[in-house]
């Protein structure tokens, strides 16, 4: 219920429980939150209307973007032993936690790699605050 309510509040998409396809693994953030990603299908004609108070940007991401040969990327940083994940989308780079969730969606939902986990992927230092 919370995921569907937040989807409505944050991007203006009202869906019911029948749109829920499943959940991915929890992702614990550096700020102490735990994100539980819920995968939904709203159909091909969903219009995103981001709430300016809650959402910086909203993307419609085609599966071709998630399966790009240069994605995902992993970089090392001196502040952590964990790899920082980067997902190129268009001309942008999406970092964890969102990037980690997109990687798991690709691995599990597209590539069929059901045992892949992403909770150990690091967030970039700018997101630690």
Can you give the pLDDT at residue 60? Answer: 85
Note whether 77 and 94 are within 8 A (CB).
Answer: no
77-93 pLDDT, tens digit per residue, is 999 999 999 999 989 99
Can you give the pLDDT at residue 108? Answer: 94
- Selection from 48, 51, 119, 115 nearest residue 85 by Cα: 119
Q: Please report, for the domain that includes residue 71, its CATH number.
A: 3.90.79.10
Note whether 71 and 88 are within 8 A (CB).
Answer: yes
Q: Measured on CA atoms in the order 85, 118, 7, 20, is the torsion positive or negative?
A: positive
Can you give the pLDDT at residue 36? Answer: 96
The tokens of 124 are what? Answer: 């970039």
13-26 pLDDT, tens digit per residue, is 999 999 999 999 99
Q: What confidence category does residue 71 fall into, taking pLDDT thresholds of 50, 70 and 90?
A: very high
CA gap 79, 91 in Å, rounded? 26
CA gap 37, 2 in Å, rounded? 11
Note whether 68 and 88 are within 8 A (CB).
Answer: yes
Q: What confidence category does residue 97 fall into, taking pLDDT thresholds of 50, 70 and 90?
A: very high
Q: Quote the number of domains for the chain.
A: 1
Can you give the pLDDT at residue 65? Answer: 93
Instruction: Enter the pTM of the model.
Output: 0.90
Sorted by sequence, the CB contacts under 8 Å of residue 111 that are 6+ apart come out as none
DSSP state of 58: -
Residue 84: domain span: 2-127
Q: What confidence category does residue 59 fall into, taking pLDDT thresholds of 50, 70 and 90?
A: confident
């Amino acid at each position: 219920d919370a995921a569907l309510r937040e989807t409505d509040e944050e991007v203006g998409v009202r869906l019911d429980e029948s749109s829920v396809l499943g959940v991915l693994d929890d992702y614990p953030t550096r700020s102490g939150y735990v994100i539980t990603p819920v995968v939904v299908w709203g159909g091909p004609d969903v219009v995103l209307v981001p709430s300016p108070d809650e959402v910086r940007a909203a993307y419609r991401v085609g599966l071709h973007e998630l399966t790009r040969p240069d994605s995902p990327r992993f970089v090392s940083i001196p502040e952590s032993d964990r790899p920082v994940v980067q997902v190129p989308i268009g001309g942008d780079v999406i970092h964890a936690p969102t990037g980690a969730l997109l990687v798991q969606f690709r691995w599990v939902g597209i590539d069929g790699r059901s045992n892949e986990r992403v909770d150990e992927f690091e967030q970039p230092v700018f997101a630690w605050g």
